[in-house]
Amino acid sequence: MTATMEVDGLSVDIRTPGGTIRAVRGMSFAVHSGQTLALLGESGCGKSMTAHAVAGLLGPVADVAGGEVRLDGVDVLRLDPAARRRLAGPGLAIVFQDALTALNPVYPVGTQLAEPFRIHEKLSRRAARAKAVELMERVGIPEPRSRAGAYPHQFSGGMRQRLLIAMAVALRPAVLLADEPTTALDVTVQAQIMELLAELRAEQRMALVLITHDLAVVAEQADHVAVMYAGSVVETGPVAEVFRAPRHPYTRGLLDSVPSGAERGGRLRSIEGSPPELASLPAGCAFRERCPLARERCATERPPLVETGTGRASSCHYWKELADA
């Protein structure tokens, strides 16, 4: 199966007053149409930065320092700005975490939802508006015809997230990036939004990249997972296999940190310490200072992401010890 989108060796630098920091250090992953890939990692691991680089939305102080993002074989990072903009919508679309700041407060939502149709499909105002109402209905907004004239602040958090999803899928993108789409929402609403995303993915045969810090969300929603630590992928593979038998000590540490109903009240096996500062990463393996398996080689040699089985890879020198255990 060919990948719809392949990210290969992507690096992103951030310029700070204290010097340049490499926030994304050689990220590689692939996602297929109709499937969900989860980018899993803790705060500061570079998962949002990766999504923004892929979508061409890096801020003024961040630059792509290397790598390729191939969409159906074409490297979108090499496209000129106009060609890149034409892709935003039909090629790649993004759903942001905070739906209130992502919507424009001074335009009615119907106008904002009609915009992609006006710009990309050159539809008339009336036709675009009709499409917008249709979309609102599809994502489950009650009374879409009358609500199209309402402003973002007149909607609840869950409804705003539906609007944002509607806007992102309006032009049937090949790849949808969803950056923590449910973290700001209540649990019962979260479940509704995840269900909507899964339906749309199946309906439109989209490739969905789900960016999250929540292991349970990954377990329930994703086909494949790429676990990130300090700006790169440390382990990747089918979710069920990775979660059943992790082949990187960081993945294992994360899984052990989740309270389990079976051992209520007992001690949780946490990972010692906290994630490293990107400005002062240790030499060799970035995880070694927190790693129970670390030895001398880890301090000098940065472990590459190597294949450990069909569709699985790990960047640990000693992954075999985990696999055999």
Partner 1 sequence: MPDDETTLLEVGGLTKTFEVAAGASGRTALRALDGVDLTLGRGETLGLVGESGCGKSTLARVLLLLERPDGGHVRFSGVDPFTLRGKDLLAWRRRVQMVFQDPFASLNPRLNAAELIGEPWRTHRDLVPAGKRAARVRELLELVGLRAADAGRYPQEFSGGQRQRIGIARALALEPDVIVCDEPVSALDLSVQAQVLNLLGDLQAELGVSYLFISHDLTVVRHIADRVAVMYLGRVVESGPTEEVFGSPAHPYTAALLSAAPSLDAVREGGRERIVLTGEVPSPVDPPSGCRFRTRCWLAEDRCAQVAPVAEARPGEPAHHAACHLPLEPVVAGAPR
| Least Cβ distance, residue 34 to partner 1 (angstroms) | 20
Among 118, 120, 213, 302, binds partner 1 (CB under 8 A): 213
Matching residue, tokens 């899984």: 255
* β-strand pairing of 92-95 with 175-179: parallel
**Window contacting partner 1 (CB under 8 A); options: 129-137, 216-224, 278-286, 313-321:** 216-224
Should residue 16 be labelled a site residue for partner 1 when binding is judged by CB under 8 A? no
Burial 26-61 (b: 16+ CB within 10 A, else e): bbbbbbbbebbbbbbbeebbbbbbbbbbbbbebeee
Of the two residues 42 and 68, which places its CB atom closer to partner 1 in the complex? 42
Strands (DSSP E) contained in the chain are 5-16, 19-31, 36-40, 62-71, 74-75, 92-95, 175-179, 207-212, 224-229, 232-238, 306-309, 312-314
Q: What angle is formed at CA 225 by the lines to CA 293 and CA 274, rounded to 5 degrees?
A: 45
| Least Cβ distance, residue 319 to partner 1 (angstroms) | 19
Of the two residues 126 and 267, which places its CB atom closer to partner 1 in the complex? 267
Of the two residues 73 and 105, which places its CB atom closer to partner 1 in the complex? 105
Of the two residues 80 and 272, which places its CB atom closer to partner 1 in the complex? 272
Residues 39, 51: Cα–Cα separation, whole Å: 9
**Window contacting partner 1 (CB under 8 A); options: 27-35, 80-88, 189-197, 317-325:** 189-197
Should residue 214 be labelled a site residue for partner 1 when binding is judged by CB under 8 A? yes
On the 0-12 / 13-18 / 19+ scale of CB atoms within 10 A, 266 is exposed
Site for partner 1 in 245-264 (CB under 8 A): 253-262, 264
Structure tokens at 103: 């919507």
The answer to whether residues 178 and 189 touch, using CB atoms and an 8 Å cutoff, is no
| Least Cβ distance, residue 43 to partner 1 (angstroms) | 6
Applying CB under 8 A, the site for partner 1 has a residue count of 41
Of the two residues 1 and 216, which places its CB atom closer to partner 1 in the complex? 216
**Window contacting partner 1 (CB under 8 A); options: 26-34, 126-134, 143-151, 153-161:** 153-161
The answer to whether residues 237 and 310 touch, using CB atoms and an 8 Å cutoff, is no
Structure tokens at 184: 């700001």
| Least Cβ distance, residue 131 to partner 1 (angstroms) | 25
Give me the helices (H) in 6-108, please. 47-55, 81-87, 99-102
Of the two residues 55 and 228, which places its CB atom closer to partner 1 in the complex? 228
Should residue 280 be labelled a site residue for partner 1 when binding is judged by CB under 8 A? no
Of the two residues 16 and 270, which places its CB atom closer to partner 1 in the complex? 270
Should residue 217 be labelled a site residue for partner 1 when binding is judged by CB under 8 A? yes
Residues 252, 256: Cα–Cα separation, whole Å: 6
- With the C-alpha atoms ordered 103, 107, 109, 114, is the resulting torsion angle positive or negative? negative
Report the interface residues with partner 1, using CB under 8 A.
42-43, 156, 158-159, 186-192, 195, 213-217, 219-220, 243, 253-262, 264-265, 267-271, 274-275, 290
